[in-house]
Structure 1
Amino acid sequence: MQIVRDLAGYSLGRSDLVRRAMSKKKHDVMEEERKNFIYGLVDDKGNVIVPGCVRNGIDETVAGIIFNQMMDFASYAFNKAHAAAYAVIGYQTAYLMRYYPAEFTAAMLNSFIGNADKCFSYLRFAKSLGISVVSPDINASEFKYKVKDGNIVFGLGAIKGVGRNMVDALVETRNKGGRYKSIMDFIERNTASGLNKRAVEALIRSGAFDGLDGNRAQMLAVYEKIMDSFTQKSRRNIDGQVSLFGDLLEDDDTVQIEYPKLREFDHKDLLFMEKEMTGMYMSGHPLDEYEETLRTAVSHKVSDIQTENREILDDVRDDAAMFADEMMKKSGFKDGDRVILGGMIRDISRKITRNSAMMAFMNLEDLSGVIECIVFPKTYDKVVAYLKEDSIVLIRGRLSIKEEENPKIIVESLGDLVPEKNTKLYLRFRNMDDAKLMVRALRPVLTTFSGETPVIVVASDKREVMQLAKELWIDGDSPVIRMLMDKLGEENVKLVES
């Protein structure tokens, strides 16, 4: 900026103001300084603060040309040392990504451990590269994410309620004594390490014990009893503590607890447990069964709009925002474009406007990413029935694209996203009156085994057909089919592939 000071007679502070405006691409500030640069600046008393080019004997036209060059530079100015450093990091990153993609991604996950949205982004990125991500595993995971056999193993430190000291202790116990054989073996070997019930429940719900005997429903039913039993046993075995009946109890001091005969939770419930504990879906995604429907029903995926470039580079604020804005322009999207998106509603926040009207903010998550959606008051009343956490919906709306902000969707309409079904269950009755009576009686059974298979009632006398409400659809893989056959007769219950 020495040239600027010499030409216009700027002070050090004033010239630094121009430098910062150039580096931040603030064209409005630059335009304000044009007059000062060429003609100078005086205060209210006529004292010269900045002489300007003209006072320094430089032709007005020449001064304008010089300032125009600075304006052009302000369109994209970048510090040379900064650029060189970025280039080195860029080459290093490219090398690691090319030859060690799993290790590089695991390192990025560890840098954001505890930030579920960032980790989800990188896990999705890993899967797009064909890198498998192993769910939490009590016999394989450590506190941080790691790479094993080319796969990324989930870090137990990303599970809510499980601290560093506890994970380090259970990993050390595993390394010394070998793999855990059951949840009972796990609790017995770690009771002395200060294991607490909250952490064990979190590990169960996250799926960390899925490789052991028993299902999550069974483990959740007995883990507290197991922990209490081993805590009592540990107290009895404290050195120096003598029991009057010690000799009699010695042979019966083994903890014996059996799993109750419980059916495992529905797959959807297991996924929500994982999401609750880790902030991510690990063994699947609630939208997996809607994948084909999403492909045909929507105009774009979230990732088409909310580019990964903006999300990952967001920490380098100025450069990332500018780069993402350029990417958005190149993608062909512009403010006001209409789009159709499908996915699951997350993080609903309702607000009351100054006019006492309701509006809502929410995130829409599909299989490719997450985008913010806004429901203004004029739309709110029309769609309020669908504004439920974890609802799977189809959204029609307009893009809102502004500088230095992530793209958003202005919601215009909202409705259920109904998956394409390959099977339907037909229940045949003599007439529709009999059908309605039986459906009323079967309602508790149907809701117990609820799912995504439509149930169609057929009346033989008039060949009438009626599809039951979605709340009475069933899980086609559950025992309910056999139960209905036993109740209504096999000839009256048909599961038909469409």
Structure 2
Amino acid sequence: MRYYPVEFIAAMLNSIMGSSEKVAFYIHFAESLGIQVLTPDINESFSKFTVKGDTIRFGMAAIKNVGMNVIEGIVKAREEKGEFTSLSDFCNKVDPGTINKRAVESLIKAGAFDKLNGYRSQKLAVHEKLLDGAASQKKKNIDGQLSLFGGLDAGAMVEVPEIQYPRIKEFDKKYLLAMEKEMTGLYLTGHPLDEYKASLKSQTSMSVEEIMSSQETLEEEAMAHDPAAEIIMKPSVGVEDGERVIIGGIITEVSRKVTKNNKIMAFVKLEDLTGTIELIVFPNTLEKVNYMIEIDQLIVVRGKMSIREDEAPKVICEDIQPLEKLNSSKVFIRVSDNKTAKEVNWSLRPYLAPYRGDTPLYLFAAKERQSFRLGRDMWLDLKGDGFKFLQEKFGEENVKIVEDN
């Protein structure tokens, strides 16, 4: 690991390729070390994760519906006939008997053809027609409709004419990411939460990574460099059982179950920009937040940590609220001390109702040098007169707008 970190992580990724959660964990670990994991590429990817200089190329075997026969056919065509220059060229060069529509669709959705001309939306619109054309041409050749030179060997190219892509727009980013998640279990070219970084930082107390910070492989496994070894995670010692936390992210899985008392509880997978954690939602809480528990929902969760030996940390959910996309600006009101800040917090609420918006409002206690974010119902609309009102009430020198970097 110390001397060959890229090779070590590539080997680990190949050993746990069937588990998208573990793959995500090691990809994030690689990125934390400055090692980039490149997206799948029809001209560069092999079946497994491979090392390319100081980077790792995503393996095609980690894409759903893409079997080894398909991958071997793609690699063979690439090595014998050269790199693919377009989707039509791909269908020309690859033996139609080794590929199928479902595998090509999955490769397009996973982004493996992204470097070739055309949007994913356009490629998905024409790939079936191209494959049908290749299969039809092969059948004609087999039936004896050959050139003047006679026979066509099994490895020869099947001529499929270049096709004009339909004039349609690319799918929106959210849908592209959803396709990647569907095909690989991972977001490869971005994350639905990328636009919510500031929101997560402002509305949560810690990230999943901070909860899992001391989860690591056993030292002897790393020293042995044994990729086949079972990955054993240790719960973080930095978070205690029963400790209250506020975390946020996107729901990726939901499982509802009936308890012995004939009530419904839920087990939820929550993913933020750093990792994934399981939420346990007991019946009484579920009755209040059930409408929020849907796949792809962006949420903020308040709850208690559940730390058990030989189990990954979990959060027992107490409340769920929508994850709000915040304005990049913040408004700070400077007051003398914490006592005054508490008084202002209660007295100011009724006056801010007409100026409600999406810009967070903070009180800064000068004596203790502490900041407090006020409730969501006290945030400001900077396009209105709320900022002017605060300046008149507390003095222009005590009310400032701060822009996030």
TM-score w.r.t. structure 2 length? Answer: 0.73
CA distance in 1, matches of 2:120, 2:78: 21
Corresponding residue number in structure 2 for 1:395: 301
User: What SS does the aligned partner of 2:114 have?
Assistant: coil
CA distance in 2, matches of 1:232, 1:397: 59
Corresponding residue number in structure 1 for 2:2: 98
Match of 1:363 among 269, 281, 300: 269
Corresponding residue number in structure 2 for 1:83: none
User: What SS does the aligned partner of 1:309 have?
Assistant: coil
Match of 2:202 among 279, 283, 296: 296
Shift of 1:307: 3.7
Which consecutive aligned stretches of 4+ in structure 1 deviate over 4 angstroms post-superposition? 310-317, 464-467
Shift of 1:141: 0.7
> Relative contact order (alpha carbons < 8 A, sep ≥ 6): 1 or 2 greater?
2
Q: Structure 1 residues 309, 334: CA separation in 2 closer, same or farther (over 3 Å shift)?
A: closer
| 1:323-353 CA-partner distances (Å, limit 9, x unpaired) | x25x52xx2x322111000111121001122
Q: Structure 1 residues 162, 365: CA separation in 2 closer, same or farther (over 3 Å shift)?
A: same
CA distance in 2, matches of 1:360, 1:264: 36
Confirm or deny that 1:414 pairs with 2:326: no
Q: Structure 1 residues 289, 123: CA separation in 2 closer, same or farther (over 3 Å shift)?
A: same
Aligned partners of 1:268 and 1:286 also within 8 Å:
yes
User: What SS does the aligned partner of 1:191 have?
Assistant: coil
Aligned partners of 1:116 and 1:280 also within 8 Å:
yes
| 1:211-226 paired onto structure 2 within 5 Å | 211-226=115-130
Match of 1:140 among 44, 48, 55: 44
Q: Structure 1 residues 242, 140: CA separation in 2 closer, same or farther (over 3 Å shift)?
A: closer
| 1:473-492 paired onto structure 2 within 5 Å | none
Q: Structure 1 residues 239, 356: CA separation in 2 closer, same or farther (over 3 Å shift)?
A: closer
Corresponding residue number in structure 1 for 2:80: 176
Corresponding residue number in structure 2 for 1:207: 111
Corresponding residue number in structure 2 for 1:342: 248
Aligned partners of 2:198 and 2:328 also within 8 Å:
no
* Structure number with higher helix proportion: 1
Aligned partners of 1:166 and 1:193 also within 8 Å:
no
User: 1:260 is matched by which residue type in structure 2?
Assistant: P
Question: Would you say how many aligned residue pairs link Structure 1 and Structure 2?
Answer: 318
Shift of 1:200: 0.3
Shift of 1:102: 1.0
User: What SS does the aligned partner of 1:340 have?
Assistant: strand
Corresponding residue number in structure 1 for 2:138: 234
TM-score w.r.t. structure 1 length? Answer: 0.60
Which sections of structure 2, spanning at least 5 residues, go unmatched?
Answer: 148-158, 222-227, 330-353, 358-402
Q: Structure 1 residues 320, 342: CA separation in 2 closer, same or farther (over 3 Å shift)?
A: same
Shift of 1:155: 0.5
Shift of 1:311: 6.7
CA distance in 1, matches of 2:85, 2:162: 15
Confirm or deny that 1:258 pairs with 2:149: no
CA distance in 2, matches of 1:118, 1:126: 12
User: 2:306 is matched by which residue type in structure 1?
Assistant: S
CA distance in 2, matches of 1:198, 1:349: 28
Q: Structure 1 residues 191, 312: CA separation in 2 closer, same or farther (over 3 Å shift)?
A: farther
User: What SS does the aligned partner of 2:123 have?
Assistant: helix
Aligned partners of 2:88 and 2:162 also within 8 Å:
no
| 1:35-75 CA-partner distances (Å, limit 9, x unpaired) | xxxxxxxxxxxxxxxxxxxxxxxxxxxxxxxxxxxxxxxxx
CA distance in 2, matches of 1:308, 1:273: 32
Which sections of structure 1, spanning at least 5 residues, go unmatched?
Answer: 1-96, 244-252, 424-463, 468-496
CA distance in 2, matches of 1:320, 1:272: 29
Shift of 1:176: 1.5
Corresponding residue number in structure 2 for 1:108: 12
Q: Structure 1 residues 288, 398: CA separation in 2 closer, same or farther (over 3 Å shift)?
A: same
CA distance in 1, matches of 2:200, 2:208: 11
Shift of 1:408: 1.1
Corresponding residue number in structure 2 for 1:267: 173
CA distance in 1, matches of 2:274, 2:217: 13
User: 1:267 is matched by which residue type in structure 2?
Assistant: K
Identity among equivalent positions (%) equals 46
Corresponding residue number in structure 1 for 2:397: none
Aligned partners of 2:303 and 2:317 also within 8 Å:
yes
Larger radius of gyration between Structure 1 and Structure 2: 1
User: 1:415 is matched by which residue type in structure 2?
Assistant: Q
Q: Structure 1 residues 242, 155: CA separation in 2 closer, same or farther (over 3 Å shift)?
A: closer
User: What SS does the aligned partner of 1:99 have?
Assistant: coil
| 1:378-389 paired onto structure 2 within 5 Å | 378-389=284-295
Q: Structure 1 residues 383, 465: CA separation in 2 closer, same or farther (over 3 Å shift)?
A: same
| 1:69-112 CA-partner distances (Å, limit 9, x unpaired) | xxxxxxxxxxxxxxxxxxxxxxxxxxxx2222111111111111
Q: Which moved more, 1:398-407 or 1:199-208?
A: 398-407
User: What SS does the aligned partner of 1:98 have?
Assistant: coil
Q: Structure 1 residues 133, 211: CA separation in 2 closer, same or farther (over 3 Å shift)?
A: same
Aligned partners of 1:191 and 1:227 also within 8 Å:
no
Q: Structure 1 residues 254, 162: CA separation in 2 closer, same or farther (over 3 Å shift)?
A: closer
Shift of 1:422: 4.8
CA distance in 2, matches of 1:276, 1:187: 24
| 1:343-373 CA-partner distances (Å, limit 9, x unpaired) | 1112100112222222111111111111111
